Amino acid sequence: MSDQDPIAAFRVEAGDLLDQIEQALLDLSNRLDDRGLIDAVFRGLHTLKGSGAMFGFDALATFTHHCETAFDRVRKGFFPATAELVHVILSAMDHMRALVDGDGSGLEATGAAILGRLQAALPESGTVTAAPETEDAAPEAASEGAGGWHLRFRLPPSALANGTNPLSLLDELRELGECRVVALCDALPPLPDLIPTECLIGWDVTLTGAIAREAIEDVFIFVMDDMDMELTPLASVAIESAAGPAPQPEPGSSLPAAPVVATPATDAAARQAPRAGESVRVPAERLDVLMDRVGELVIVQSRLSQLANSGLIGASGEVALRSISEEIERLVSEMRDTMMVLRMVPVANLFGRFRRLIHDLARDTGKAIELLTEGEATEVDKTVTEQLADPIVHLIRNACDHGLETPEERLAAGKPATGRVMLTAAHAGGEVLITITDDGRGINRERVRAKAESNGLIQPGQALSDHELLQMIFHPGFSTAAQVTNLSGRGVGMDVVKRTIEGLRGTIDIASQEGKGSTFTLRIPLTLAIIEGLLVRVANGCYVIPLAAVEECIELTAEEDRRTRGRSMIQLRDALVPFLRLHDLFDTGAEPDEHQKIVVISAAGERVGLVVDQIIGSHQTVIKSMSGVHRDVHSFSGATILGDGSVALILDIMQLVATGQQREARLRAVG
């Protein structure tokens, strides 16, 4: 089921770990003495180092070791966490990500530069040294013990309870060479005082053969420090054995008093490290395949259901078959519902990345910036969130760089010194609505106009509406290299942002008030998201209208129908609303039903009535995109597979509202 490649598993896990460390660091930058956060960062770095070394990411392990060491010192109270230290470690995150993704080649200089800054960020006493971890095994003279060994040992009394098996130790000795073992029972108490789980027997072993001292010590490696052992080369055995039995060690003498206190997991730690096992990572394409299979199952199920109800089966068999068919129908529908939500992820994942961005921007611009988010639980198809990341990064950079003023300017303008960037997400009309708002200086129209004129995008003095003027900033020729700053100049321009959004079949709008700030609104259709749809029938075709866009459904009376023939406005209580007869629009060539219905939809504040034959009901639906050959068909945002396996088209609300508005405008122009 899960991938059997530990390296791939490590990369995924390291990515998660880095995200967790980063979040903890960001929290820590606000609460520098929070022990829980310091521990969380240390533990994250420690795990990363350990696993990295396990899977051959040596450069990562070495680099992370330095960061870990620094945090270990903080954890142990050698010096406090400082904003500078947190910042350096934050910048190290990106380097670690690069080391996780690649083989580390060509990154040495970057790593060294970061370590240099780390060094500088630490107080003298905390100098990070690349403490090489070497076992300090003292080499012994090779000739020692060439003839064999005599050893006499007693395990600590707790050895048995703690999992050391004396028999297997003796077996290991026997594997080294010829062995003569004598048990030493002198330390055993009288039977009534004997505690069966305590190990009070000693052993006297004579081992013959050319055996290195380390080989013997290796057998006892785990108990060496707690046990009594005399180890002598065989030549001196006679003298040793004359010395009599070794004194019995005082029980537990070598054990330090260890406090038996469970460290309670702090809230922060619990939050930073969600328990594994709660989620499983699955490649998105596997979900697509599964979704398709479920779609097939739905069709086969409907054929089964038809057969069960066809009367072709004998009466007795039919009852049984029908009950099986109904059972399968229930299961298939449940499975379908479950499948639908699998690809959805909350935008919180996306928004989380921007905290770091704001942190860096605040530092780089010297401005005080706070980030507010809203609607983080809004779920969007995973691919949509991935494609939205870059455009939003650019808009945030823009807001921080051009929008927000310096603290001094803000105070002078009567605003709080700290600038505010707000990110919101919400579902609206079958779309995701994402806004990026800043409370900065707003867009200076005169400067936009001057720039557009000097770049030759418009004629000097050309009349433009405010909307048209603001749209200039999305023009490919608007931003020029001379004007981009260090921040916004990186990566993409506003024209690319607009193109990316349009590539998602979305739109981008600006609202800006000088002195008050700007809002960018992204509307993205949920390409593969679930929407609640209203299923309607027009002639013999079924269509889905996103329910969120539906305002009301009303009857089109026969009288009104006649009266409005040839016109396209209807009186809806106090307002005239344009409407579209879908029979005409879709060119069905069929006669409309006698009692038609009007579904009133709204988008972007405009209303349009859609005249349909029948309202079938609400229907939860997965939007499937249509292939490239239908890219020029604008009335539909996609299609969906209905319960019976047939395909219904999903109406593109924005497009239909626009069509309605055009008709209305045309009508007004005429009349």
Rounded least distance, CB 642 to another protein, Å: 9
C-beta closer to another protein: residue 132 or 617: 132
Alpha-carbon dihedral sign for residues 302, 303, 309, 314: negative
Site for another protein in 2-21 (CB under 8 A): 2, 4, 6-7, 9-10, 12-14
* 455 close to 461: Cβ distance less than 8 angstroms: no
DSSP assigned state of 624: B
Q: Is 49 in the site for another protein (CB under 8 A)?
A: yes
Q: How many CB atoms lie within 10 A of CB 621?
A: 23
Q: How many Å separate Cα 38 from the centre of its chain?
A: 22
Nearest to 654 by CA among 541, 545, 512, 519: 545
The CA distance from 187 to 203, in Å, is 11
For another protein, give the closer residue by CB, 64 or 437: 64
Show the binding pattern over residues 215-244: x = contacts another protein (CB under 8 A), - = does not.
------xx--xx------------------
Task: Output the smallest distance, CB 323 to another protein, in A.
Answer: 26
Q: Does 197 bind another protein (CB under 8 A)?
A: yes
DSSP type of residue 264: P
- Report 571-610 residues binding another protein (CB under 8 A): 585-588
- Which residues inside 160-189 make contact with another protein, applying CB under 8 A? 160-165, 167-168, 171-172
Spatial separation of the C-alpha atoms in residues 177 and 148, rounded to whole Å: 8
Q: Which range binds another protein by CB under 8 A, 45-53, 140-148, 469-477, 569-577?
A: 45-53
Site for another protein in 634-663 (CB under 8 A): 634-636, 639, 641, 645-649
Task: Quote the tokens at residue 419.
Answer: 């600038």
User: From the centroid of its chain, how far is CA 217?
Assistant: 48
Position among 77, 120, 124, 135 found at the interface with another protein (CB under 8 A)? 135
In this structure, what DSSP letter does residue 190 have?
A: P
- Kindly report the number of other CB atoms within 10 A of residue 554's CB atom: 15
Token couple for 404? 């927000």
What x-and-dash track marks residues 413-452 binding another protein by CB under 8 A?
Answer: ----------------------------------------
Helix (H) or strand (E) holding 59: helix 58-75
Among 125, 253, 632, 671, binds another protein (CB under 8 A): 632
Residue 299 makes contact with another protein by CB under 8 A: yes
- Given 105, 129, 253, 263, the residue binding another protein (CB under 8 A): 263
Closest CA to 43 of 66, 77, 20: 20
Those residues with Cβ within 8 angstroms of residue 469's Cβ, 6 or more apart along the chain or in another chain: 445, 448, 449, 452
Min dist. Cβ of residue 87 to another protein (A): 25
Residue 161 identity (one-letter amino acid): A
Paired sense of beta strands 647-651 and 636-641, if any: antiparallel
Helix (H) or strand (E) holding 336, with range, is: helix 315-342
344 forms part of the interface with another protein (CB under 8 A): no
Q: Quick check: 262 binds another protein (CB under 8 A)? A: yes
Which span sits near another protein by CB under 8 A: 40-48, 350-358, 420-428, 555-563?
Answer: 40-48
Q: Does 629 contact another protein by CB under 8 A? A: yes
d(C-alpha 413, C-alpha 495), whole Å: 31
Q: Is 270 in the site for another protein (CB under 8 A)?
A: yes
Q: Which residues pair with 458 in a beta bridge?
A: none
Question: Least distance to another protein from the beta carbon of 117, Å?
Answer: 24
Q: In the structure encoding, which two tokens stand for residue 157, read together? A: 């009394």
Of 357, 389, 626, 667, the one binding another protein (CB under 8 A) is 626
Per-residue contact flags (x/-) with another protein for residues 61 to 90, judged by CB under 8 A: x-----------------------------
Minimum CB distance to another protein smaller for 293 or for 447: 293
Stretch that binds another protein, among 43-51, 317-325, 376-384, 470-478 (CB under 8 A): 43-51
Rounded CA-CA distance 660/142 in Å is 96
Contact stretch for another protein (CB under 8 A) within 39-47, 115-123, 319-327, 349-357: 39-47
C-beta closer to another protein: residue 169 or 569:
169
539 Cβ contact partners less than 8 Å away, ≥ 6 residues apart: 583, 586, 588, 589, 590, 613
Q: Is 295 in the site for another protein (CB under 8 A)?
A: yes
| Footprint on residues 523-582 left by another protein (CB under 8 A) | 541-542
Which residue lies nearer to another protein by CB, 448 or 622?
622
